[in-house]
Structure 1
């Protein structure tokens, strides 16, 4: 099955329709709530990247800086 959204993949996995390869940040709550469980973890390798793109400008808008910091903090906690 091919899906265009992470939410659809999570929903299908929670409904027992198969397994899905999903980023950790997307399934954190489902794992904590035991709606999903990790399988094949030893075969999973994080090789992808996550990029935030914005128009080039001399000065970064303060709201954009806050948004970037929030994403970094929530998606990739230290």
Structure 2
């Protein structure tokens, strides 16, 4: 992410916060056989998340960063809505 140019919203008369409409930031986990096995054995959510990421799951934060890099939203907005 070091070489990526991120954008900031520009305020305008018709839109005080600089954003137009809404977009979704998504996180979808494919429940593979390995993840099913972890669930059955009572693994922690952290263990399941780690395995899902190893298998290519894109987290909400990752999806937000991708959308910020595309100029669809800003880093500030991604961090605001994904803060736990």
TM-score (norm 1): 0.28
Larger relative contact order (C-alpha < 8 A, sep ≥ 6)? 2
Question: Which one has a bigger Cα radius of gyration?
Answer: 2
TM-score, with structure 2 as normaliser: 0.27
